[in-house]
Amino acid sequence: MLTSRRPATTTLRDLVTNAPAETEHAGMLLGERLRAGDVVLLTGELGAGKTTFVRGVAQGTGSPAPVASPTFQLVRIYPGRVQLAHVDLYRVENSMELRDLGLEELAQEGAVVVEWGDRLEVDGAALIEIEPLGGDRRLIRTTRDLGH
């Protein structure tokens, strides 16, 4: 019998990428699955590849817009088959700013993907970790699935 240490993820299979384009592609596969109401929390150190991944997610949701690091903008909205809200909590320092995000409204309007997502606790959110393995290698691991 085939056994695995963890149940297979239905959100995105765990994988190791060797280039930014591969991480983007993984993001695209996720984006194609996203529906309104989905929240995906991304974790990983600075430079891990979170924004690169989101670039692919936006493609997967059908957004033609270029994805940039929302450094001075907490939220960027990409219209598509499903609207994608791209949130980056890197510069958020207090819980008031987190409350003011309007996450619930964003999730009602579409899907939400959050960089530095470990700063939030969201019921039902998927959790994806991007871990640098040295050089251009990155491990992309789903530690909590979307509910579908």
Residue 52 contact, options Mg ion, ligand ADP, none, Cβ 5-8 Å cut-off depending on partner type: ligand ADP
Question: By CB under 6 A, what part of segment 98-117 binds ligand ADP?
Answer: 115
Hey, how many other C-beta atoms are within 10 angstroms of the C-beta on 6? Answer: 9
Q: Which stretch binds Mg ion (CB under 5 A): 18-26, 46-54, 94-102, 125-133?
A: 46-54
Strands 111-115 and 126-134: what pairing? Answer: unpaired
Question: By CB under 6 A, what part of segment 30-89 binds ligand ADP?
Answer: 44, 46-52, 69
CB of 42 vs Mg ion, minimal distance in Å: 9
* Continuous H helices in 19-88: 20-33, 50-60
Q: Smallest Cα–Cα separation from 59: which of 39, 33, 36?
A: 33
CB of 49 vs ligand ADP, minimal distance in Å: 3
Which residue of the chain is nearest ligand ADP when measured via CB?
A: 49
What span, in angstroms and rounded, lies between the C-alpha atoms of 116 and 30?
A: 18
